[in-house]
Amino acid sequence: MIQNIPLSYYLVISTFMFFIGIYGFLTRRNLITMLMSIELILNSVNINFVAFNRYLYPQQLQGHFFMLIVIAVAAAEAAVAIAIIINIYRNFKSIDVENVDEMKY
Amino acid sequence: MNILNLFIIVPVLTVCGIMLTKDLKQSRLVSAIGMGVQLILAFVLVYLYLAERGAGNTATMLFMYDAVWFPSLNIHYALGVDGISVAMIALTGIVVFAGIFASWKMEFLPREFFISLIILATGVYGFFISIDLFTMFLFYELAVIPMYILIGIWGTGPKEYSAMKLTLMLMAGSALLLVGILGIYFFSAPAGSPLTFNIMEISKVHIPIEMQRFLFPFTFVGFGILGALFPFHTWSPDGHASAPTAVSMLHAGVLMKLGGYGAFRVAIFLMPQAAQEQAWIFLILTSISVVYGAFSAIVQTDLKYINAYSSVSHCGLVLFAILMMNQTAMNGAIIQMISHGLMTALFFALIGMIYGRTHTRLINEMGGLMKVIPFLGVVYVIAGLASLGLPGFSGFVAEMTIFVGAFQHVDVFHRVVTIVAASSIVITAVYILRVVGILLFGPIKNPHFLELTDAKWYERISTISLVLAITAIGTAPWWLSNMINYSLAPIVERISAVQVTGLF
Amino acid sequence: MLNEVMFYLFGAMILTFSVLTVTTRRILRAAVYLLFVLISTAGLYFSLNYNFLAAVQLTVYAGGIVVLIIFSILLTSHLSERAVMAPLKQSIFSALATLAGATLTLMTILRFSFVPNTGVDPQLNITDIGNSMVSYNRDGYALPFEVISVLLLAAMIGAIVVAKKERKLKE
Amino acid sequence: MADYTYTLLIPLIPLFVFLLLGLTGHKMKPLVAGLIGSTGLGISAILSYATAFKYFIGSHVAGAGYASIKGFEVSWLHLTDKLTIHLGVLIDPISVMMLVVITTVSLMVHIYSIGYMKGDPGFYRFFSFLSLFSFSMLGLVLATNIFQMYIFWELVGVSSFLLIGYYYEKPSAVAASKKAFIVTRFADLGFLIGILMLSFNTGTFDFQTLTDPHGPAIASAGGAAFMGLSVLTWSLIFIFIGGAGKSAMFPFHIWLPDAMEGPTPVSALIHAATMVVAGVYLVARLFPVYALGAPDALMVVAWVGGFSSIFAAVIACTQTDIKRVLAFSTMSQIGYMMLSLGVSGYGGEEGLGFMASNFHLFTHAMFKALLFLGAGAVIHAVHTNEIGGMGNLRKHLPITHITFLIACVTIAGIPPFSAFFSKDEILVAAFHSNKLLFAIEYIVAGLTAFYMFRLYYGIFWGKNTQYHHTPHESPLVMTIPLMILAFGSVFAGFIPFHALVTSDGLPFESKIDWLIAIPSVLIGVLGIVVATVMYKKENPLPDKVAGTFKHLYKWAYHKFYWDEIYLFVTRKIIYRYISEPIAWFDRHVIDATMNGIAGITQYSAYAIKGLQSGKLQQYGFVFVSGTIILVLIFVYLV
């Protein structure tokens, strides 16, 4: 069964996903794509939780619930973020992150 | 109930009372009553103090009160007074009282103004009565911070700039001071016994000389900045010029004395060896202060600047005398603090009153005011004469005590700085008479001045109370001097017990 | 065997679509690629025998969040629009930092040998999960559940307030 | 020993009057204020006369000498273990003599002022200041110790300041008062330093201890040396600087002519009879110390006095403002007194100069006050100070004329008027000590007679000047003091000073040395004759003489440019080259440094705030790289 696939493989996948998300966050100019990058990051973390739960402590449920909570947080975050993005769009007529630097200093 | 606690409680109650008031009339009334009570308390304290001494109480500090308020660091709310602090409290009482009357017509945000003013006064009272270094520092900060608000909101001219400058420089002083105080705290306790902030406890041990050498400059300069030590005095002219009348009065009259008092009570008293060693540096600085301030005052054209520079000169004399470290000079320093506090408060009150009438502080635009506002004119002349050290007023007593004391040192260095400092009495005469001559005498330059009215009753209360105090000290100095001398004796004994071969 | 195939398949899909998500110039496509990533992740969960999680992943993430994102894309962009890419310098530095981070993490992970607990092969059913979610016993998660529900409520209200058009002051 | 506690009242009554008039005077009728002032002073005068009578005659045991007695003393301020400032009254020959002089002149001036100041809006103020001055001056002469003297010395200075600046709306008066105060203040600094040195070395302020010939002060004469002179000598020289400032000795004399801006009675009281002789009194007070402890300091006194007397006499010959002529004459006469003290020795016949100095002080007070009050009457009548605006007044002002003439004859040293006696003693003392000084005094005697009669002729004879309204004689309230003082001027010379006021309290025999007296009288007469020839009738002679000594005349007329030198020093050097640079330095260097520190802080803040760009991705990049680096450090390197 799953023993054929080592735990590290999952971790490798989640690591790559995580850093791809970070790369996206650092390079994409569109706020929504940045948001999507964050979703990637969160998702990669979820994979870790689930994999650890499955491999190391299969009789327990912590990983499950962490994942559920992260999803909930991700949903909440997405909702708020999109609300903010829409508001920004309304004020700046753009959602390019380069234009949104009023909050400096 | 310890009487000293009242000095904190009464202002706090007054502040609460002001919060309940609605307008200028009510708030100034409450302030006047509160500070009047405080003034009476101050006199009661003087009386009780003298009575205790008369009854043969020889303890260094009287009316001690002690409560722990931060046990883990051994910080106490420790109170106690000796003759010196009693004298300073009486000074504060008079100046604050006069200050309230000088701001009788504070139309703009009166409640907030009086609250800030009284918080400041609380800080000053607290500073003078506490004998715990940390509590002292706390009250010191409490006195300095409201200054920013008072100048920044109710000031004139470039008030934000001045307020910022004053506060920042004084805060820099506080920072140095904090280093000094913490250093004293950590290095004063003998091995095995708990660390303490209590001055009387610390004075029983000797801080290691190496630490003293390091900590003394921090502490002395920290207090010295507030005492307008050259070259850290530049906040004073700007700050005073921008501050509203009562604030200038309190600041020059009382707050700057915190510097002198602290330098004496903390820096020199607790670290006598280092003080003896390093005194020469600061003696040079202070004698520069004295002469330099006076010379600068000669060419100023703004009344408040003149007075601010004169304060630099006079406060320089205070620190100068403290550094002479003998009983007579130190006695003179304390009297000079009180005397200068009263005189300069009187000056600033008068300047405020004159400014309120003429709407200018530039002496070149004024002239002949004696004719139209004789009361203020006469009081101004009295203040001027007191300031240049006329016998019969407090300044003379203070200066003469200082000079006689300073002259007790036989070496050339001390003689030279003494003579340099003494020469300020001539320069002082020059700038005082210049101002008086231009401002009050001569023909009236501006026809609009002919319509000016003389002092109102509240202005008279303010000025007369100060003039009376100045004259009282000037004509009967012995009670003040003896009161101070009694308390100075143990301090001087401690200082002179350590004879260090300094540079001179 | 099947598991292995599924794992490699989903792993490859995840990586591919992740890369595509962050590199494509069309924003709507990026959202769709993201959807694929999420679905592939759900596939991974299936292969781990965690059906409930996979279901949640599909419904909430793929069904909820992605739809939300797509809506907002439609609200704020034109479909024909090509996303502006970051300047080369920024891309290179980001890539370098990312690569360094990935290398570092991978080195850490791979150097550590995890010892899987192979003794049990739990058969989880939804009832157990539901019970422990609302249980307040030692292994119960009632409190986090409540907390997260409050958070969701707050986020919802917050999102509404933020996104609401400000009323004109002068009417 | 007699009880002299009541002498305390002599200064205290004027103080009370000062406070009364100062606080409530503006509500009084002017005349009431004047009367209160005069009455107060009158009581003081009577008490002084009583004291003088009691001290010199009443309780004196013949042949025992005059002791110095402390009538009263309280401790005022405790300074060090040894030094305590006391306030009290000291009764000895010179203080009693000064009491008489001050109260007499002051009383005359008070009465005179009731007429002179009539109608002035500040009438009460004038009288309260006069009382303040009287109080201070009396306190000064009664001082039991040098510090008390310094206290009253300053008070005297300030009363002088207030009275010179009495017409405060007149800029020249304000300037003059300022000048007087600051110049004397500068000299007082010397006095203060002198006191500090003296008291430190002797451990006492007290005059009785200081002047005790076997006391610590004189015993310390040999002490450490600085520039060849002992500490005692230096301290006494410093003290003399203070005295020279008050007494308008060269080079501190510049304030005195300007001080004539004050009302004339003030000039008579302060700047002729009393305050300006305070310097003489100071040296006389410390005379045993000077004579026994520091003869070098005494030489300084003599030479400063001698130089001042001839310097002032030369200037006086050229001035045209009558009050300024009198001012320089005062300076010249005080120079006489100083010189006389300077050439004196201690004890017995040796102390002739000391006696002569005090004698001259006494007679000078009488005739100089008379001259000033007479000049005041003239000014009152013609409303100008300039000699050019006067002339031929003898018919209009008969009483003033006679009394003025008496005073002029007195100052010229013609027997039997009082100054003849006192001046003769001075000349004798100088003759026995220093021939050069003696010669100077002869010249000064001639010059004195010359310029006084120049003045006299200029006012009362000379050309017929047209006046706007006919000058009329002053009221009785002004002329009676003139007559009383004239009486004093004539007969004061017969007081046996050598039996009363001597350096060691013991009387000695003194008689007129005709070999010296007759030439001096002749010189005086010569001066009068020259003045008569030149000025009695209007003639071109004065201009011709002035033309002959053109440069000397010009220099003397401009007071040898001392005012200009002082102006240069104060305006240019102190104001322009010290104060302004310091003020500039304060604003532009020290304050700029502070502002610079603030500026640097602000600049760095701006520099750092660039990092806070608001660019989300930049933050993200920094965050990620930072995390990587930290992980690298903490996981792999540490």
CA distance B231 to B206: 31
CA distance D615 to chain A (A): 6
Percent of chain D with pLDDT over 70: 96
Within-domain flag for C118: no
In the prediction, which pLDDT does A44 show? 92
In the prediction, which pLDDT does B504 show? 46
Q: Is C95 on the interface with A (CB under 8 A)?
A: yes
CA-based nearest residue in chain D for residue C94: D621
Within-domain flag for C94: no
Chain segment B451-460, per-residue pLDDT in tens: 777 778 888 8
Interface residue of D611, D616, D619, D625 to substitute, partner A, most A CBs within 10 Å: D616
- Are C81 and C132 contained in the same domain? no
Which element (helix H / strand E) includes B3? helix B3-20
CA distance D112 to B125: 56
- Are C1 and C71 contained in the same domain? yes
Percent of chain C with pLDDT over 90: 15
D80 contacts on B by Cβ (under 8 Å): 327-328, 404-405, 408
Q: Which of B286-295, C48-57, D557-566 has the lowest mean pLDDT?
A: D557-566
D616 contacts on A by Cβ (under 8 Å): 34, 97, 100-101
Q: Which of residues 6-35 of C touch A (CB under 8 A)?
A: 7, 11, 14-15, 18-19, 21-22, 27, 30-31, 34
Q: Which domain holds residue C148?
A: 125-166
A10 contacts on C by Cβ (under 8 Å): 44
Indicate yes or no: CB of D628 within 8 angstroms of CB of C100.
yes
Indicate yes or no: CB of D614 within 8 angstroms of CB of A98.
no
User: What single DSSP character describes residue D26?
Assistant: G
Chain segment D472-525, per-residue pLDDT in tens: 777 888 888 888 888 888 888 788 877 777 777 777 777 777 778 888 888 888
Q: Which of residues 12-31 of A touch C (CB under 8 A)?
A: 12-13, 15-24, 26-30
Contact D156, B364 (CB under 8 A): no
Which element (helix H / strand E) includes D87? strand D84-91
* Mean pLDDT within D4-16: 87
- Are C75 and C133 contained in the same domain? no
* Mean pLDDT within D91-105: 87
Contact A72, C150 (CB under 8 A): no
Chain segment D275-331, per-residue pLDDT in tens: 888 888 888 888 888 888 788 888 888 888 888 888 888 888 888 888 888 888 888
A50 contacts on C by Cβ (under 8 Å): 44-45, 48, 50, 53
Dihedral sign (CA B259, B264, B265, B267): positive
In the prediction, which pLDDT does D223 show? 60
A97 contacts on D by Cβ (under 8 Å): 615-617
b/e map D566-581, b = 16+ CB within 10 Å: beeebeeebbeebbee
The DSSP annotation for B82-98 comes to -HHHHHHHHHHHHHHHH
- Which whole-number Å values give the CA distances from D252 to D192, D241, D309, in the listed order? 16, 9, 13
Q: Which domains, from first to last, does chain A contain?
A: 7-92 (1.10.287.3510)
- Are C10 and C71 contained in the same domain? yes
Within-domain flag for C24: yes
Contact C54, C43 (CB under 8 A): yes
- Are C80 and C146 contained in the same domain? no
Within-domain flag for C6: yes
CA distance C144 to chain D (A): 29
CA distance D171 to chain B (A): 5
The DSSP annotation for chain C comes to -HHHHHHHHHHHHHHHHHHHHHH-S-HHHHHHHHHHHHHHHHHHHHHTT-HHHHHHIIIIIIIIIHHHHHHHHHHH--TTPPPPPPPHHHHHHHHHHHHHHHHHHHHHHHHS------S------HHHHHHHHH--STT--HHHHHHHHHHHHHHHHHHHHHHSPPPPS--
Nearest to C101 among D617, D624, D635 (CB): D624
Structure tokens at D432: 């026995």
Indicate yes or no: CB of C56 within 8 angstroms of CB of A4.
no
Indicate yes or no: CB of B405 within 8 angstroms of CB of D80.
yes
Residue partners of B346: CB distance under 8 A and separation at least 6: B98, B379, B383, B386, B463, B466, B467, B470
Residue partners of B245: CB distance under 8 A and separation at least 6: B99, B102, B103, B348, B349, B351, B352, B353, B355, B356
CA distance D634 to D628: 10
- Are C75 and C137 contained in the same domain? no
Looking only at Cα atoms, what is the longest distance across chain D?
121
Nearest to B296 among D169, D171, D586 (CB): D586
CA distance B252 to B263: 16
D530: closest CA among D518, D516, D519, D545? D545
For C59-63, which contacts have Cβ atoms below 8 Å and span 24 or more sequence positions? C60/A71, C60/A72, C60/A75, C61/A39, C61/A43, C61/A71, C61/A74, C62/C35, C62/C38
Structure tokens at A27: 């390079």
CA-based nearest residue in chain B for residue D579: B295
Report phi then psi at D412, rounded to 5: -75, -10
Nearest to C93 among D621, D628, D632 (CB): D621
Contact D540, D546 (CB under 8 A): no
In the prediction, which pLDDT does C33 show? 92
Indicate yes or no: CB of D616 within 8 angstroms of CB of A100.
yes
* Mean pLDDT within C100-115: 86
Report phi then psi at D42, rounded to 5: -60, -45
Indicate yes or no: CB of C104 within 8 angstroms of CB of D628.
yes
CA distance C22 to chain A (A): 5
CA distance B173 to B221: 7
Residue partners of D71: CB distance under 8 A and separation at least 6: D3, D4, D5, D6, D7, D8, D88, D89, D90, D91, D142
In the prediction, which pLDDT does A42 show? 92
| Residue type at D4 in one-letter notation | Y
CA distance B135 to B67: 11
- Are C12 and C62 contained in the same domain? yes
Interface residue of B233, B298, B401 to substitute, partner D, most D CBs within 10 Å: B298
CA distance A39 to A81: 12
Within-domain flag for C19: yes
Total structural domains within chain C: 2
- Are C61 and C142 contained in the same domain? no
CA distance B300 to B311: 13
CA distance D313 to D328: 7
B481 contacts on D by Cβ (under 8 Å): 77-78
Q: How confident is the model at residue C171 (pLDDT cuts 50, 70, 90)?
A: very low
- Are C76 and C131 contained in the same domain? no
D628 contacts on A by Cβ (under 8 Å): none
Indicate yes or no: CB of D583 within 8 angstroms of CB of B426.
no
A75 contacts on C by Cβ (under 8 Å): 60, 64-65, 152, 155
Whether chains A and C touch (3+ CB pairs under 8 A) is answered by yes
Chain segment A48-92, per-residue pLDDT in tens: 998 888 888 887 888 888 888 898 888 898 888 888 888 888 877
CA-based nearest residue in chain C for residue D622: C97
Last residue of a domain, one of C86, C113, C148: C86
Q: Is D628 on the interface with C (CB under 8 A)?
A: yes
Q: What are B67's strand-pairing partners?
A: B77
Chain segment D158-200, per-residue pLDDT in tens: 888 888 888 888 888 888 888 888 888 888 888 988 888 888 8
* Mean pLDDT within C64-79: 84
Contact B377, B440 (CB under 8 A): yes
Domain parsing of chain B, residue ranges: 3-497
B318: closest CA among B223, B246, B435, B434? B223
Say if the ipTM goes beyond 0.85.
no
D586: closest CA among B308, B256, B284? B308
In this complex, the chains that touch A, judged by 3 or more CB pairs closer than 8 A, are C, D
Interface residue of D615, D618, D623, D624 to substitute, partner C, most C CBs within 10 Å: D624
Chain segment D376-393, per-residue pLDDT in tens: 888 888 887 787 777 777
B298 contacts on D by Cβ (under 8 Å): 574-575, 579, 583
Chain segment B207-232, per-residue pLDDT in tens: 888 888 888 889 999 998 888 888 88
CA distance D318 to D546: 9
CA distance D333 to D306: 10
CATH, residue C21: 1.20.120.1200
